[in-house]
């Protein structure tokens, strides 16, 4: 039995005297595809920050592939876990391939920069994500959907076992949302990349992710397949909204 690639044990995170996560226990195995859902303020982003070692918990343990995250230096974490940046706020004109190249930062030679292996990884990531036709363009001029894909390519170039995304579909139109989701499924099923995504869109989460972790007020309210997690009662409790779960035929589009 391989140990989980990401493991949280009774993790409590407080931020300026306010407890944001309490006693969160979560175990994600390599190759899984997990969506973190919950209302605003539930602590989803905090959970991600804790996972990547950016936030230190006041109690509990966080391990990446068995190693406590606080014992890893930032570069180690970056080599194991790639976080797709949320919104790209570029101060200077930057071409798409230069953005993707940033993903090699944890691997490249600190002084000399990208080596041939790095360049190959960059090219492969661009190809894999399918943004080849955007090469040469200023990333600031892309549409939001295109930009999101470029950022995913950046994370792919990082060659990490785990891909973490924080609300990747927030500003995307329907077509790009679906496209991004399908890409994640592809990366997960074909390359074996573990995908952990914070999503606000329950339908997307339910449709594309076999496992949902529902956070409510800093605690794990439910953890499992969509039909178990997204019961009308629970949705009413957590989200305060009446809903009904409609199962679509497996072959239907969203």
Note the maximum CA span of the chain. Answer: 57
Give min distance, CB of 117 to other proteins, in A.
Answer: 17
Which residues, in sequence order, are CB contacts of 81 under 8 Å at separation 6+?
A: 6, 51, 52, 64, 160, 161, 162, 164
Cα angle: 53, vertex 65, 37; to 5 degrees: 60
Q: Is 167 helix (H, G, I), strand (E, B) or coil?
A: coil
Among 79, 119, 200, 219, binds other proteins (CB under 8 A): 79
Closest CA to 141 of 176, 102, 90, 98: 90
Half-sphere exposure of 2 (CA within 13 A, CB side): 10
Contacts (CB under 8 A) with other proteins, residues 196-215: none
Residue closer to other proteins, measured from CB, 93 or 248:
93
Map the footprint of other proteins across residues 150-189, applying CB under 8 A: 158, 171
Q: Which is nearer to other proteins, 74 or 236 (CB)?
A: 74
- Minimal distance in Å, beta carbon 166 to other proteins? 9
Least distance CB 154 / other proteins (angstroms): 8
Task: Give the C-alpha separation, 84 to 201, whole Å.
Answer: 18
- With contact defined as beta carbons under 8 Å apart, do 213 and 17 qualify? no
Min separation Cβ 109 and other proteins, Å: 9
Query: Interacting stretch for other proteins, rule CB under 8 A, among 22-30, 134-142, 172-180, 227-235?
Result: 134-142
Q: Which is nearer to other proteins, 25 or 71 (CB)?
A: 71
Q: Nearer to other proteins by C-beta: 68 or 224?
A: 68
Interaction mask 85-124, other proteins, x per CB under 8 A: xxxxxxxxxxx--xx-xxx-xx-x-xxxx-----------
Q: Let me know the angle formed at the C-alpha of 31 by 198 and 202, rounded to the nearest 5 degrees.
A: 30
> Closer CB to other proteins, residue 105 or residue 185?
105
How far apart, in Å, do the first and last CA atoms of the chain sit?
A: 35
Residue (64 or 220) nearer to other proteins, CB: 64
- What is the total count of residues that contact other proteins (CB under 8 A)? 41
C-beta of 78 vs 220, nearer to other proteins: 78
Contact 155, 103 (CB under 8 A): yes
Distance CA 95, CA 132 (A): 12
| Among 77, 56, 63, 80, CA closest to 25 | 63
Q: Kindly report the number of other CB atoms within 10 A of residue 145's CB atom.
A: 17
**Closest distance of CB 81 from other proteins, Å:** 8
Footprint of other proteins (CB under 8 A): 52, 54, 73-79, 81-83, 85-95, 98-99, 101-103, 105-106, 108, 110-113, 138, 140-141, 144, 158, 171
């Amino acid at each position: 039995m391989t140990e989980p690639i990401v493991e949280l044990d009774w993790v409590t995170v407080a931020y300026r005297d306010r407890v944001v996560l309490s006693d969160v226990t979560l175990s994600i195995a390599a190759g899984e595809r997990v969506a973190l859902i919950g209302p605003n303020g539930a602590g989803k982003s905090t959970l991600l920050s804790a996972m990547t070692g950016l936030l230190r918990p006041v109690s509990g343990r966080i391990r990446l592939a068995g190693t406590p995250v606080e014992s890893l230096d930032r570069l180690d974490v970056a080599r194991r876990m790639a976080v797709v940046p949320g919104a790209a706020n570029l101060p200077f004109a930057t071409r798409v391939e230069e953005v993707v190249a940033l993903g090699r930062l944890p691997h490249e030679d600190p002084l000399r920069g990208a080596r041939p292996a790095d360049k190959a990884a960059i090219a492969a990531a661009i190809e894999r994500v399918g943004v080849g036709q955007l090469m040469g363009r200023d990333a600031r001029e892309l549409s939001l959907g295109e930009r999101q894909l470029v950022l995913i390519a950046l994370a792919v170039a990082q060659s990490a076992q785990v891909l973490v995304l924080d609300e990747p579909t927030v500003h995307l139109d329907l077509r790009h949302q679906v496209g991004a989701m399908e890409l994640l499924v592809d990366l997960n099923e074909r390359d074996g990349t573990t995908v952990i995504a914070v999503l606000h869109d329950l339908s997307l989460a339910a449709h594309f992710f076999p496992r949902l972790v529902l956070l409510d007020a800093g605690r794990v309210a439910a953890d499992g397949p969509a039909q178990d997690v997204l019961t009308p009662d629970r949705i009413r409790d957590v989200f305060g909204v009446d809903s009904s779960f409609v199962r679509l035929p497996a072959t239907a589009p969203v």
